[in-house]
Chains A and B, each alone.
Chain A
Amino acid sequence: MTELLQIDHVSRNFGGVQALTDVSFAIRQDEIFGLIGPNGAGKTTLFNVLTGVLPPSSGHIIFAGKPLDRQPPHRILQLGIARTFQNIRLFSGMTALENVLVGQHSCTRSGVIGAILRNAATRREEAQARRHAAELLDQVGISRHSNTLAANLSYGDQRRLEIARALASQPRLLALDEPAAGMNPAEREQLRELIQQLRAGFNLTVLVIEHDVKLMMQLCQRIAVLDFGELVTVDEPERIRQHPRVIQAWLGTET
């Protein structure tokens, strides 16, 4: 099994606060990989380091054989890692379709001259981008809202739109930051199905951060547990459930 992403001894501190300490693990091609941990465990920090929002204090991240050291966010997207945000960050004044069009930015080329002249190549690219965007909206199940402003979508649909926008860049790794936050059990179940469906349909590798342990146990092939910025363990869901430090630090008496 090939490893798509390697997190190699990554640490990150904010002044005196050690948010991540010497974290190492690898995500395999085609798996749905979960990252769990209590609040403040460093999950989102790891996400931000991975996507270039924050540089690591030390350590490396290697994606598809290439080091991601100090690459800005737009480069990391071009290399094939797309993400969503914990607190939804859509372009709320744009329609759902336009949001997905922006997501295709890195796959399209036309510039100022093309925009002004609107020549054949530009028109073709634009038409193709719009078709692709409509398909993506259909695949996440919100095609009926393609001309609705993102701000006017329901919460669950906004989450779906954010996933569609991320998929628009044709990533190899899709990183979802708490995609089920604020959803009810039925919506969570739908989301799980959607993620599994997209993983298969787009040949994706998926990295998910989530609080909902039950959902993660069903969704992920392997799960990494973070606590106080340190990696506790990486294992299959069944074994995670029985890990003594996991029960103590995170699951409590829930299972």
Chain B
Amino acid sequence: MSHSRRSAWSTYAALAIGLLALPFLLQAGIGRSWVRIIDMALLYSMLALGLNIVVGYAGLLDLGYIAFYAVGAYVYALLDSPQFGLHWPLWAVLPIGAACAGLSGVLLGAPTLRLRGDYLAIVTLGFGEIIRIFLNNLNEPVNITNGPQGICLIDSVHLGTFSFSHNHTTMLPGLTGPVQYYYLFLALTLLVMFIALRLQDSRVGRAWAAIREDELAAAASGIHLRNFKLLAFAMGATFGGLAGGLFAGFQGFVSPESFNLMESVMILCMIVLGGMGNVYGVVLGAITLTVLPEALRMLGDWQLNHLGHVIVDPNDLRMLIFGLALVAMMLIRPAGLIRSRRHQREYAGDRP
């Protein structure tokens, strides 16, 4: 008992050291751009964990999820940029963005409550597009979102005078902007994971799982379908809004283009690939699908270095390999990289 507990602790300690050292190793090893890629992977992990509450826990197929990311990003952008000359502090802006996203989750969820499966997917897809088109056109008659040009010169994520975008290499060698963002995003991703895990194994999580498995039986067991579906939409959207706000501060620029349907599909892919309903699987899926396309980009450099010229342009192949990888995954491990116990049976078909 104490031995296994000690070995568990040493595993956690090794993992923690590895995660803390990762950005420095990446900078020293394969290049500084990779820290930014990992930053994005963490943002996508938060997004995927949020969508996982809606799709993986409550079983509500939402294809317009990126809209909540957009709401969070635009709230941050409007309250922390020269657009309206506002520069609100982070502790106000992030919660407001997350709350606005959560509220829009309820507003968009409410009319879809009676829909299931395909129909729900189509309506949420439409809602996602509505938000994007709104952002695209809200520059007239009153200019709010600056239309398709987007909002730029957004303040970086900052706490007091400490800006996460500025290098602090004098404080610690190698402590660049992206590295600081990495720690911030890592902390928040761990927090979101913690919340997702706690929710899963609770009265609320069981109610969601019951709705996902059998709505009629769930209602007959006393679960208020409307309230718990809206709760799932709201929780998922809140995480989306949080990630959106961080994205706006991280990039310093937002435009409606970043929030198209393809992004929603991509986040759904991360969940399906990683293992729907499984928190660790979802994070693994998000990291894989963010890193893989970037890694495939390196194929071109490799050809240039070793063969002298580019025979096959990786940009042409990237999406093809990516697609093949997804198809192969679905055939080999249909329940995802790390399977959720609750979901296993659904993919097993008629096999006992």
Contact = CB atoms under 8 A, between A and B. Distances in A.
Interface string B230-249: 01000100000000000000
A101 B206 contact: yes
Contacts, number: 105
Given A93-B213, A93-B342, A149-B345, A105 B223 contact: yes
Given A91-B210, A93-B346, A105-B207, A74 B202 contact: no
Interface stretch (B214-222, B258-266, B312-320): B214-222
A91 B207 CA distance: 11
A94 B199 contact: no
Classify the secondary structure of B's interface with A.
Answer: helix
B203 A90 contact: no
A106 B210 CA distance: 13
B221 A105 contact: yes
Nearest to B348: A151
B225 interface: yes
A108 B223 CA distance: 11
A64 B342 CA distance: 38
A165 B213 CA distance: 15
B344 interface: yes
A94 B224 CA distance: 19
A118 B198 contact: yes
A77 B213 contact: no
Given A85-B217, A89-B216, A93-B209, A112 B199 contact: yes
Interface in B179-235: 195, 198-199, 202-207, 209-210, 213-214, 216-225, 231, 235
A102 B207 contact: yes
B202 A110 contact: yes
Contact of B221 (A72, A102, A110, A129): A102
B198 A73 contact: no
A188 B195 CA distance: 46
B168 interface: no
Contacts of A82: 220
Contacts of B203: 101, 105, 108, 110-111, 114-115, 125-126, 129
Nearest to A98: B206
A85 B231 CA distance: 27
Nearest to A108: B203
Contact of B209 (A91, A112, A125): A91
Given A102-B206, A102-B207, A93 B345 contact: yes
Contact of B216 (A53, A125, A151, A169): A53
Interface residues of A, number: 38
B343 interface: yes
A85 B221 CA distance: 12
B220 A73 contact: yes
A85 B209 CA distance: 19
Contact of B222 (A74, A90, A94): A74
A51 interface: yes
A37 interface: no
Contacts of A102: 206-207, 209-210, 218, 221, 223
B50 to A, nearest CB: 14
Contacts of B225: 74
B217 A105 contact: no
Nearest to B346: A93
A116 interface: yes
Given A102-B221, A115-B205, A118-B198, 14 more contacts: A53-B220, A73-B219, A74-B223, A89-B214, A91-B218, A93-B343, A93-B345, A102-B210, A106-B221, A110-B202, A111-B203, A115-B198, A115-B199, A151-B345
Closest 8 CB pairs of A and B: A106-B222, A115-B202, A73-B219, A89-B217, A77-B222, A93-B342, A91-B213, A105-B222
12 contacts: A85-B220, A89-B214, A92-B213, A93-B341, A102-B218, A102-B223, A105-B222, A111-B203, A111-B204, A112-B231, A114-B203, A149-B345
Interface of A: 51, 53, 72-74, 77-78, 82-83, 85, 89-94, 98, 101-103, 105-106, 108, 110-112, 114-116, 118, 122, 125-126, 129, 149, 151, 165, 169
